[in-house]
Amino acid sequence: MNKYEAMIIFRESLKETDWDGAVEAVRAEIEKLGGKVTSSTRLGKREFARPMQKQQGGHYGLIAFQLAGDKVAALQARLKLDDQVFRVQVVSAPAVVPLAKKKELDDGVAK
């Protein structure tokens, strides 16, 4: 399974108390496809630079998960059907470099 991150914008009509339920619905969709959610981060409500589809802003969240590569398109299609989800952007998670290895690269000396 590959590692991915999804930036999800929920509709501005989503109430603060419904946040956990909306994230749980996304988690359930990922697990239906055989994936595993590793973390979820709430980024808060933000205004858009310009209105989109009569929406002035949305509730942002970042979800890190593992999923087979051929299932990502199916996940995006399922999330488009969810009434609470306004936009979804799925990208491959960046590789994490261990701190010791990063220090060696910063020094310019490969050991």
Q: What is the reported pTM? A: 0.78
- SS3 assignment, position 56: strand
What is the reported pLDDT for 63?
94
Domain that holds residue 77: 2-107
Residue 110 confidence (pLDDT) above 80: no
CA distances from 12 to 17, 75, 102 (A): 13, 22, 40
Residue 111 confidence (pLDDT) above 80: no
Q: How many domains does the chain have?
A: 1
Instruction: Output 17 or 64, whichever has higher pLDDT.
Output: 64
Residue 104 confidence (pLDDT) above 80: no
Q: The domain spanning residue 90 has which CATH number?
A: 3.30.70.60
